[in-house]
Amino acid sequence: MGSASRWCRSASWLALATLAIAILQSAAQADTWTLHDPGFPVAVTVRPFADDQWLPSDADASADVLRIPSSVLNVSVSIPVLANVSDAEVTITLFRRHRVNARESFEVLANTQVQLARSYRIDVGTKAEEMVLRVYVEAHIGHHVASDHTLRAFFVRSLDLSPSEPTRIKCEPANDRVKPELRIATFPPTNMPADLCSAYTMDGRIPVRKRYFDDQTDLDRTYEARSRDFIDDLVTRAKARETLYYGEADEYLFAALDEYPIRGKHVLIVGSTFPWYESVCIAMEAASCTTIDYNKLRYDHPKIATFTLAEFQTLAPRKQFDVILSISSLEHDGLGRYGDPLDPDGDFKAMRELLQYVNVDQAANPTRLFLAVPVGPDALIWNSQRIYGPLRLPLLLEAWNIVDSFGFAKGDFSAPFSVSHQPVFVLEPLALTEASDGSHTEL
């Protein structure tokens, strides 16, 4: 018995000595975002996931709010080397910060408890820009020892996930482009490939910002089924002129549909994975809504038909439409964010492809396209989206005539940076206008 007691006392002294040494070693490691028990100087670092080019500025590194232009984060956690650590657990919590009338509130977006690992990949998966990250570490020391200890550490830091400041990139000559089939990656590229720089930036004329997303899905992904009651509720909200995801863009769309009614018309919707705009069209008394997407959609409503791109070619009873809706979709094409192939002209190609869905007899029954894209000073936000200014917007619309616009003014091209200003353009195929009066509405 005495021998066992002496062994326990000896082990206890060893644990305490280890803690004392750790306290001395940790003095230089403290930061303003971490609070820890004595002798447990946990180090937590946060950076964009898989982005080797990212370096925080000196100002950002020491600021209260850390700017990271990415919705996918890499959180690394390291604990000091201590004797007799039996296990350690990490709890990671993400809060979304809300500010209303100078008052702050916080919404828990994610909360997970995991075993200690070197690093964690966290996909915020939201449009939230102002976040708070909390990391709580709990370690147990003294397993099978007379004196057990639980050591704790908290890390709390505010994050700003908004786009980075603009950069003018001097693109190096790219004599040979990498073949698309050779661009194989587990995740969408975090940085623009050098051989595509000139094409994406229009020979360096378009500044580049960064805000990274990984929204790729498996090709056979099926989105959540939406019931008849769910869609009927959205229709009721649309009749009340509520707005959803895109705020002002929805208001512009309602105004455009008042001016150019779609009652009794057959509508094609592209780039939608939630039945809000289908519900808007039903509220405006459209005859039918057909939605096409890369993914399988399931909407239970007699006026809505959904097809994958492959299904549409063989199964859709109607191939031409009176109205086409594309709301906040084309600006993403070709950037790889959704797992699509990298293509600097992906948005232009998608816009031209819409012409295949217009009515054959445009003189008697012209098809109208209601298009919303972000407008402002030209910018490429890798890999989030494009913003269309005086350089790229005319090229996007070159095969179409601008019948009308809602929310657009030429002053938008020199307005302060914003990703949310999306006017609605009412367009008709340019061939119709050329045949009638030879004119084309300029921006």
The long-range contacts involving 170-177, CB below 8 angstroms and separated by at least 24 positions, are: 170/204, 171/197, 171/198, 171/201, 171/203, 171/204, 172/197, 173/198, 174/198
Task: Give residue limits of the domains in the chain.
Answer: 31-160, 228-436
> 3-state SS string over 346-410?
HHHHHHHHHHHHECCCCCCCCCEEEEECCECCCEEEEECEEEECCCCHHHHCCCEEEEEEECCCH
Q: How far apart are CA 131 and CA 12, in angstroms?
A: 42
Q: For position 289, what pLDDT does the model report?
A: 97
Confidence of residue 135 (pLDDT cuts 50, 70, 90): very high
Query: Residue 24 has what pLDDT?
Result: 43
Per-residue model confidence (pLDDT) at position 27 = 46
Q: Please give the Cα distance from 195 to 179 (Å, whole number).
A: 11
Note the pLDDT of residue 278.
98
The structure tokens listed for 316 are 């859709």
For 357-385, how does the pLDDT look when each residue is reduced to its tens digit (9 = 90+)?
Answer: 999 888 888 999 999 999 999 999 999 99
CA distance 89 to 131: 23
Q: Which of the listed CATH numbers 1.20.1630, 2.30.30, 1.10.3470, 2.60.40 matches domain 31-160?
A: 2.60.40
Chain-centre distance for alpha carbon 437: 42
Dihedral-angle region of residue 51 (phi above 0 means left; psi in -120 to 50 means alpha; beta otherwise): beta
Q: Is residue 123 packed enough to be buried (19+ CB in 10 Å), middle (13-18) or exposed (0-12)?
A: middle
Res. 237: pLDDT tops 80 = yes
Please state, as a whole number, how many other Cβ atoms lie within 10 Å of the Cβ of residue 16: 14
Write down the pLDDT at residue 182: 56
Q: CA 276 to CA 282: how far, in whole Å?
A: 10
pLDDT over threshold 80, residue 223: no
Using CA atoms, how far apart are residues 311 and 437, in angstroms rounded to an integer?
A: 38
Q: Compute the C-alpha angle 225/228/234, nearest 5°.
A: 95
Q: What spatial distance separates the first Cα and last Cα of the chain, rounded to whole Å?
A: 92
User: The whole model's pTM is what?
Assistant: 0.85
38-42, 227-231, 232-236: least confidently modelled range: 38-42
Amino acid 133: pLDDT: 96
Residue 175's pLDDT is 66
The residues, any chain, with a CB within 8 Å of residue 16's CB and separated by 6 or more, are 147
117: tokens are 């690992």
Query: Which residue stretches of 240-294 are H helix?
Result: 248-259, 276-283
pLDDT digits (tens, 9 = 90+) for 266-324: 999 998 889 999 999 999 999 999 999 877 889 999 999 999 888 988 888 888 999 99
The DSSP 8-state label assigned to residue 65 in this structure reads E
The reply to whether domains 31-160 and 228-436 share a CATH topology is no
Q: How far apart are CA 67 and CA 161, in angstroms?
A: 6
Tell me which of 14 and 246 has the higher pLDDT. 246
Residue 274's Cα: distance from chain center in Å? 15
- For residues 332 and 385, the answer to whether their CB atoms sit within 8 Å is yes
Average pLDDT over residues 132-145: 83
Residue 440 pLDDT level (bands cut at 50, 70, 90): low
pLDDT digits (tens, 9 = 90+) for 249-266: 999 999 999 999 999 999
Lookup: tokens for 409: 């003014």
- Average pLDDT score over residue span 377-400: 97
CB neighbour list of residue 230: distance below 8 Å, 6 or more residues apart: 275
3-state helix, strand, coil in the chain (%, to 5): 25, 30, 45
Residue 392, Cβ density class (10 Å: 0-12 exposed, 13-18 middle, ≥19 buried): buried
CA separation for the pair 40, 66 (Å, rounded): 24
Q: Write down the CATH superfamily of domain 228-436.
A: Vaccinia Virus protein VP39 (3.40.50.150)
Encode pLDDT of 192-221 as tens digits: 999 999 999 999 999 999 999 998 865 455
Tokens at 31, concatenated = 């930061």
Q: Average the pLDDT over each of 3-17, 178-192, 193-207, 237-251 and give the range with the smallest value.
A: 3-17
Strand partners, 425: 371, 405
pLDDT at 8: 44
Q: Which residue has the higher pLDDT, 345 or 363?
A: 345
What does the mean pLDDT of the chain come to?
Answer: 86
Residue 25 is predicted with a pLDDT of 45
Q: What are the pLDDT digits (tens) for 71-118?
A: 999 999 999 887 677 789 999 999 998 887 778 888 998 999 999 999
